[in-house]
Amino acid sequence: MVMSRVPLFIAGLPRVTITPTGPLQVRVGDRVNFECVAQGDPPAAVYWEAPARTSGAGAPPGAPETTRATYVIHSVTQGDAGTYTCFATNSAGTQQTSIELRGNLA
C-alpha cells in the first residue's frame, strides 16, 4: 500500500470589523476616522464604499489595501451623512460591514 501526504488548504471568508461601531453621531466640523480590519486566511484586500458627496478620503474601490483600511473625514459636512461600507475580499469570497454617519449636520 502506498500512502502519501498532501497538504490541504481551505480558504475562509474574511471577517470584517469597523471601529468605531455605529451609528456614529457627529456635528459639522468634527473629524471622523473609520478603521476597517479584515481577518482571514488567505489575507483579504480591503476597501471602502462611501456616499457620493462625502468629503473624506480612503482606499477607493479598485485600490484595495491589505487587511486594514482607514477612511478619514477631516471636517464633517452635511454631505458626509450616510452609510459607509467596508468590503474585504479574498479567494474564498467577499464580506462587508457598514457604519452609518449621522447627527446634527445642518
Tell me the domains of the chain and their CATH numbers: 15-104 (2.60.40.10)
Among residues of the chain, what percentage have pLDDT more than 70? 84
Residue 6 has pLDDT above 80, yes or no: no
pLDDT in tens, 41-69: 888 999 888 887 666 666 555 555 678 88
- CA atoms 34, 83, 98, 93: torsion sign: negative
Give the pLDDT mean for 16-41.
92
φ, ψ dihedrals at 80, nearest 5°:
-85, -10
Average pLDDT over residues 70-91: 91
User: Where do we find the cell 449636520?
Assistant: 105
Those residues whose C-beta lies under 8 Å from the C-beta of residue 82, and which sit 6 or more positions away, are 50, 51, 54, 100, 101
What radius of gyration do the chain's Cα atoms show?
A: 18
- Which residues partner with 54 through β-bridges? none
